[in-house]
Amino acid sequence: MHLTEIVVEGTLKPDGSLELDQKPSLLPGRVKVTVKPLPGTSIPRPGLAEVIVQIQKDQQARGFVRPLAKDSDTEQKIRQEDDDEYDQRCQELWLQTQSGPPT
């Protein structure tokens, strides 16, 4: 008697591979696989804290060095000065449109 279809449970791994709970009782060869999650067996997703910790570990593994707070403060100050200059220039141009061309 040849089986034409069997059902075997297993686990879908993050890399997309399947780990079957038992060896299928079919002859070796190509097969068609249908994957359906079993009720109540979903793996919980990591929370925000776990994701942040994993990101930090990955960054450390790549040799990423976080900028110092003083560097960030300096960059923020430079951006703010640029924004202030831009705003002032816009106001000057706006005033020219209100009062006519400069004399």
CA dist 8 and 90 (Å) reads 70
- pLDDT confidence of 11, banded at 50, 70, 90? confident
Q: What is the mean pLDDT of residues 79-96?
A: 92
Q: Is residue 9 a contact partner of residue 24, using CB atoms and an 8 Å limit? A: no
pLDDT tens digits, 37-81: 888 766 678 899 999 999 999 999 999 988 887 888 888 999 999
The span from the CA of 56 to the CA of 37, in Å, is 31
Q: Rounded to whole angstroms, how far apart are CA atoms 83 and 77?
A: 10
20 backbone dihedrals φ, ψ, rounded to 5°: -85, 145
pTM of the model: 0.36
Q: What pLDDT is stored for residue 103 in this prediction?
A: 59
Please, what sign has the CA dihedral across residues 86, 90, 92, 93? positive
> Is 14 in a helix, a strand, or coil?
coil
